[in-house]
């Protein structure tokens, strides 16, 4: 098909806008990477923009050689895996029954669940609740409260709705139970949706720190983002340098940048593995023939 001149101009405009968006997202990351690999003198003189000046790996050696950074990263990875598996399981078993017309009180349940998206008691009552059930300062406080997102549950329920009922009815005629129908029909057909929701949960847990900040005092269970938050906000450059055994503020700035990269790169590496499922999941249902 031959494109018209107006269509070609429109394609170039879209491509240019996409290029600008890529630059906006990529340049800050390149700047942090360059700062983490630059010398302290270059940072003090503000010579670093997008390319390392005085290339060195001292900051990364410090981060990788410090047990608290390595443990925090490992704990965050374990926490992310546990939360993602539990959240996907909870989302699936919550969404699946709601597609059955013969479920008693389905309309009330749907309404009640949706109301929780708009109304909540607030931070202080939630803190008091966690305190009353003796969950504060325990690893479970980082897992259980956020194990289900109503928004993701609605996405999963909508995806289940898109699967033809004839498949379910034929399985029921053959004597399949509800669990068997879910396991052998709905889950295999829902791979794009499950992968998309799993990515949402994983990124949210990996980047989360506010729950640990409010509910966790045991530093052994600080996720990497909270450790990074403390480094970037609770200390001055000189204090960080002294704490880490440095005497130059520039080295402390390099350490901060290296810590940011240390906490960012692992979750970035996951996306390419889920990209094809993610694209299918977010676009599914947008166009129907």
Q: In the chain, where are the structural domains located?
A: 5-44, 58-283
Q: What Cα–Cα distance (Å) separates residue 97 from each residue in 32, 127, 176, 183?
A: 47, 31, 15, 13
Q: How far apart are CA 101 and CA 52, in angstroms?
A: 61
What are the b/e assignments for 102-133, b being 16+ CB within 10 Å? eeeeeeeeeeebeeeeeeeeeeeeeeeebeee
- The per-residue pLDDT for 190 is 85
Q: How confident is the model at residue 288 (pLDDT cuts 50, 70, 90)?
A: very low
**Which CATH fold would you assign to the domain 58-283?**
MetI-like fold (1.10.3720)
Q: How far apart are CA 276 and CA 273, in angstroms?
A: 8
- The per-residue pLDDT for 255 is 75
- Cβ atoms of 232 and 122 within 8 Å: the answer is no
CA-angle at 203, arms to 217 and 58, nearest 5°? 70
Q: How far apart are CA 99 and CA 93, in angstroms?
A: 11
Tokens of 200: 């949402």
Is the pLDDT at 243 greater than 90? The verdict is no
Count helices and strands in the chain by DSSP H and E runs: 16, 0
Question: In terms of C-beta density within 10 A (0-12 exposed, 13-18 middle, 19 or more buried), how is residue 82 classed?
Answer: middle
Top pLDDT among 101 and 59 is at 101
Express each pLDDT in 267-286 by its tens digit: 777 777 766 666 655 555 44
Q: How far apart are CA 187 and CA 181, in angstroms?
A: 9
The rounded mean pLDDT for the chain is 80
- Cβ atoms of 98 and 161 within 8 Å: the answer is no
- The per-residue pLDDT for 283 is 54
Closest CA to 193 of 157, 150, 149, 143: 157
| Cα dihedral 133, 134, 136, 142 sign | negative
- The per-residue pLDDT for 211 is 86
Tokens of 49: 């923009």
- The per-residue pLDDT for 251 is 60
DSSP string of 70-122, one letter each residue = HHHHHHHHHHHHHHHHHHHHHHHHHHGGGG-TTSTTHHHHHHHHHHHHH----
What does pTM read for this prediction? 0.77
């Amino acid at each position: 098909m031959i494109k018209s001149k107006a269509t070609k101009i429109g394609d170039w405009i879209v491509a240019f806008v996409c290029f600008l968006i890529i630059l906006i997202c990529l340049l800050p990351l390149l700047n942090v990477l360059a700062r983490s690999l630059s010398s302290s003198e270059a940072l003090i003189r503000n010579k670093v923009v997008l390319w390392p000046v005085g290339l060195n790996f001292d900051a990364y050696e410090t981060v990788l050689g410090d047990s608290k950074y390595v443990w925090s990263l490992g704990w965050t990875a374990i926490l992310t895996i546990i939360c993602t598996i539990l959240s996907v399981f909870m989302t699936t078993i919550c969404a699946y029954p709601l597609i059955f017309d013969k479920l008693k009180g389905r309309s009330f349940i749907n309404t009640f669940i949706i109301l929780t998206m708009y109304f909540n008691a607030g931070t202080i009552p939630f803190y008091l609740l966690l305190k009353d059930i003796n969950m504060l300062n325990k690893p479970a406080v980082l897992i259980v409260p956020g194990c289900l997102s109503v928004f993701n549950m609605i996405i999963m329920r909508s995806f289940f709705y898109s699967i033809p009922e004839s498949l379910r009815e034929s399985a029921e005629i053959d004597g399949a139970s509800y669990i068997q129908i879910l396991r052998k029909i709905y889950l295999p057909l829902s791979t794009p949706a499950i992968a998309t929701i799993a990515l949402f949960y994983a990124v949210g847990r990996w980047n989360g720190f506010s729950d640990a900040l409010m509910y966790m005092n045991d530093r052994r269970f600080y996720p990497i983002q909270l450790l990074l938050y403390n480094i970037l906000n609770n200390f001055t450059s000189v204090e960080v340098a002294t704490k880490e055994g440095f005497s130059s503020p520039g080295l402390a700035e390099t350490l901060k940048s290296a810590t940011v990269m240390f906490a960012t790169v692992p979750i970035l590496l996951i996306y390419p593995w889920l990209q094809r499922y993610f694209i299918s999941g977010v676009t599914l249902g947008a166009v129907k023939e």
